[in-house]
Amino acid sequence: MLVPSTPVVHLELHTGDLQGAQTFYSQLCDWRAERVDTRHGSYHALELGGGLGGGIVECATRRPIWLPYVEVSHIDEATERARARVRDAYEAKGWGTGMAAFIAMTSWQGEFTDEYFGQPAPDPARFGMPTDDDGSRDDPLLSDRSWAVSSYHVDVNALAVARTRVVVAVGEESLGTFTGRTALATAQLIGQQPTTFPSHHGGFLSGEFGYAGQPEAFARRLRDVLDGN
């Protein structure tokens, strides 16, 4: 039997129907949920057996999704290696190749594992990107100038005492990706449940950049959030 090099250690279900999910999995798998209350909401922990932890999170997702958490020995090293891969692709072959590498990185579900790094470089044409190199290297997103953003650590104590309302948002299609996992971790650090928006982390966009979101649905959800709903 093959044993994965990065074993799953936790499974988390995100669903819009908490009670229905609890009933279904209790009957199907005999999984019992234990409610854990915090000052910002509740979490329903699951004991799945075999040392595997789990949980159920109720959120405004249109479809249930399981998020696996895997054990990674050096998470910082893996993240730095992933973003360096994007920069190196951009420096070597230009904008189209760099953007294809960026899309592949931000679309990857879960931690950056050996399986991720073992993939061949993505073809820019697959994403509608140019395959030629115009010689320019001034895109801050694809260079290491953007690393200040991905290296940023939030000041948890400052956010905890902020007078302004803090909302951590995540796109429902991005839940297991680099951007989604960052939002979920930030929400957990400050004791919040994340606020889910339609589409992915660029859900406010139309199709002008080849990664169409749901701007109308996003706008409706944003208005609800701003109104405190």
Reference 113, options 72, 152, 148; nearest CA is 72
Query: Average pLDDT, stretch 11-22?
Result: 84
Looking at 102, 129, 150, the residue that finishes a domain is: 150
Whole-angstrom distance, CA of residue 113 vs CA of residue 107: 14
Looking at 104, 134, 150, the residue that finishes a domain is: 150
Residue 3 lies inside a defined structural domain of this protein: no
Q: Quick check: 79 and 49 in contact, CB under 8 A? A: no
Looking at 70, 96, 123, the residue that finishes a domain is: 70
Same domain membership, residue 64 and residue 12: yes
Show the domain range for 42: 8-70
Residue 182 lies inside a defined structural domain of this protein: yes
Residue percentage of the chain with pLDDT more than 70: 88
Give the pLDDT of residue 60.
64
Residue 95 lies inside a defined structural domain of this protein: yes
Residue 173 lies inside a defined structural domain of this protein: yes
Residue 145 lies inside a defined structural domain of this protein: yes
Give the pLDDT of residue 221.
93
Same domain membership, residue 207 and residue 163: yes
Same domain membership, residue 145 and residue 80: yes
**Confidence band (pLDDT; 50, 70, 90) for 2?**
very low
Read off the DSSP letter of residue 102.
Answer: H
Q: Six-digit token pair at 1?
A: 């039997």
**pTM for the predicted model, two decimal places:** 0.65
Residue 101 lies inside a defined structural domain of this protein: yes
Give the pLDDT of residue 72.
56
Range with the largest mean pLDDT of 7-21, 55-69, 135-149? 135-149
| Alpha-carbon 216 to chain mean position | 22
Same domain membership, residue 142 and residue 171: no
Q: pLDDT at residue 4 above 50?
A: no
Same domain membership, residue 39 and residue 22: yes
**Confidence band (pLDDT; 50, 70, 90) for 93?**
very high
Give the pLDDT of residue 105.
93
Reference 43, options 181, 157, 229, 194; nearest CA is 194
Residue 105 lies inside a defined structural domain of this protein: yes
Q: pLDDT at residue 41 above 70?
A: no
Domain count, the chain: 3
Same domain membership, residue 98 and residue 54: no
Same domain membership, residue 169 and residue 145: no
Query: Average pLDDT, stretch 50-65?
Result: 76
**Confidence band (pLDDT; 50, 70, 90) for 101?**
very high
Residue percentage of the chain with pLDDT more than 90: 27
Q: pLDDT at residue 104 above 70?
A: yes
Q: Quick check: 100 and 139 in contact, CB under 8 A? A: no
Give the pLDDT of residue 161.
79
